Copies of this chain bind each other. A is one copy, B any other.
Amino acid sequence: MIVNMKDGASEQQIEHIIERVREAGYQAHVTRGTERTIIAAVGSGGRRHELEALQAAPGVDTVVPIAQPFKLVSRQTRPQGTVVTVGDVRLGGHKVVIIAGPCSVESREQMLATAHAVKASGATMLRGGAYKPRTSPYDFQGLGVEALEILREAREQTGLPVVTEVMGSEDVDLISEHADMLQVGARNMQNFNLLRRLARCNRPILLKRGPSATVKEWLLAAEYLLSGGNSDVVLCERGIKTFETELRNTMDLAAIALAKELSHLPVIADPSHGTGRRSLIAPVSRAAIALGADGIIVEVHPCPERALSDGAQSLDLDGFEAMMRCLSDPMRPTASPERSPGKYAPRSAAAPAAGSYNLHGFSF
């Protein structure tokens, strides 16, 4: 921390701060400028909050942190990055992991049909909500334990590990028995009691970024899990609230690269919630991968127009299969409009010419 004294702070005020910095367990390095004095608190074993409180001391202008407030999640502690293993799936390794499934488990038939179809298209993990945090109390709240049993069956039939959301501490044991990975939803990112409880469970955690959480707050939420004993944590960017309302959220894609720069934890992207718009899911997924995302979690439903939740942003089974082809083929156009081969040239909007939309390894 740097304590930045006000212009004309008295010698007595400066001495007081030096003394308080030492009391807090740091060395005080003083720099006297022509108008201002700054006091750097040096060392790592001190009590940071005592330095922060100096903001209120006489003669102090500002107290400025010089180190990040998170430690265990920092990339400095593990520069090579972390791989989190869920069943036989490795998040943070060589391969981009695709997690697919319905927003909510609605029935055995719906979940099993989706599970087999997404596996056939190349997904390596399943998602499905059993306990649903819905904005309105009148909306479908999930099938609960019945859904957990269906998810277990889906895993047994397909061999794909399952991630599902846990809404409160009281559900952790039950969900841990049925699922391979527990998701903390965006609204619960700063449910600190839940985070402390999950730090003591034996399952890896998928930690979604809160809709109004900064990247630092997100990493500090992860720090709760690591500092409490659970280091198998995967971060998930799912869009933030901004003034723009054209899409469901504003996908903060650059935050994926930033989180990977600041932290060693794997980071995945949720383009379904991040955009709320089916046509953007494939292009936003490609962008997330370009930014270094370790995986994509995507909502897929056999019949989105009948979905009990998130139908508008769910891909159908064919849509998911098309997205997977688009992600694995560097030449395939995404769902966004293809480019024109020339000004006003007549061209079908539906059938992009081969090679007309070279997204990757493109030419200048």
Contacts and interface: CB of A to CB of B under 8 A. Distances in A.
A168 interface: no
Query: Per DSSP, are chain A's interface residues mostly helix, strand or loop, or mixed?
Result: loop
Contacts of A216: 246
A71 interface: no
How many copies of the chain does the oligomer comprise?
Answer: 2
A96 B362 contact: yes
A94 B356 contact: yes
A339 B291 contact: no
Interface stretch (A28-36, A47-55, A191-199, A247-255): A247-255
A359 B292 CA distance: 7
A361 B245 contact: no
A301 B338 CA distance: 33
A242 interface: yes
Nearest to A345: B80
A324 B362 CA distance: 11
**A-side interface size class:** 35 or more
Given A283-B291, A336-B292, A345-B80, A362 B95 contact: yes
Interface in A348-364: 349, 356-364
A208 B110 CA distance: 45
Contacts of A328: 361-364
Contacts of A342: 83, 93
A98 interface: yes
Nearest to A81: B340
A259 to B, nearest CB: 10
Given A242-B240, A330-B361, A280 B258 contact: yes
A82 interface: yes
Contacts of A330: 330, 360-361
B245 A79 contact: no
Interface of A: 75, 78-83, 85, 90, 92-98, 122, 124, 212, 214-216, 240-247, 250-255, 257-258, 260-261, 274-275, 277, 279-280, 283-284, 286-292, 294, 324, 327-330, 334, 336-347, 349, 356-364
